[in-house]
Structure 1
């Protein structure tokens, strides 16, 4: 088990089940956003993570520059990991859900590859989906 926490990001990894959980604890600056995502990416690579539950419900909106960085740098790097499922927890904010859906559609055809991406209102819903055993 690996755990990390600073004033804006909580992260834990269970290598026995290849699961990573991350929680943005508050809205972040551009520097914090990129630094946090670099840490998440390094954990995905180093620990061969296959499933990731990412709680973004407290993250807030990111800038257009950070959105571009995510599409051009982060998502292609994400596609080069062993990740199979990414479950985003967005909370009750329907605007956040819609914005993420648009973002995922822009990223999918070019970058995401075989990673299944879904978003959920609660952690339980995300965990249930990640834990599904294919028939």
Structure 2
């Protein structure tokens, strides 16, 4: 299992580097479970949304990912963006289960028990 936690709002280049590293580790270790905590990250720009969809499709298609837990803030725009991107990615990748949580501990519990 890999846990990614954004500690503050990030600039585009920081975000892209972090996502590329996440993908590298996911592929290198053949991980099946991923938790991404976006609570403090903020909302992605349109450019970053398009970039994230493309890199996610490429990485997830090559990975063994089975479960993705996303920890979202209560911000409606962030939640909407997460769900929209998830739908775009799932149209072009092998099946993986995504669940959304507001509390990190609940996401971890879901990954551990499923």
Do they superpose with TM above 0.5?
yes
Alignment match of 1:115 (pick from 81, 96, 100): 96
Tell me the equivalent position of 1:98. 80
User: Following TM superposition, where does structure 1 have runs of at least 4 consecutive aligned residues deviating by more than 2 angstroms?
Assistant: 73-76, 91-95
SS at match of 1:131: helix
Instruction: Count residues in correspondence.
Output: 114
| Alignment counterpart, residue 70 of structure 2, candidates 52, 64, 88 | 88
Of residues 9, 17, 22 in structure 2, which corresponds to 1:40?
Answer: 22
Unaligned ranges ≥5, structure 1: 1-18
More strand by share: 1
1:106 Cα deviation after fit: 2.2
Structure 2 residue 57 is the aligned partner of structure 1 residue 75: yes
| More RCO (CA 8 Å, sep 6+) | 2
Partner of 1:7: none
* 2:43–2:77 CA contact under 8 A, matched in 1: no
Return the TM-score normalized by structure 2.
Answer: 0.90
Q: Residue 132 of structure 1: CA displacement? A: 2.0
Structure with the bigger percentage of helix: 2
CA distance in 1, matches of 2:98, 2:62: 15
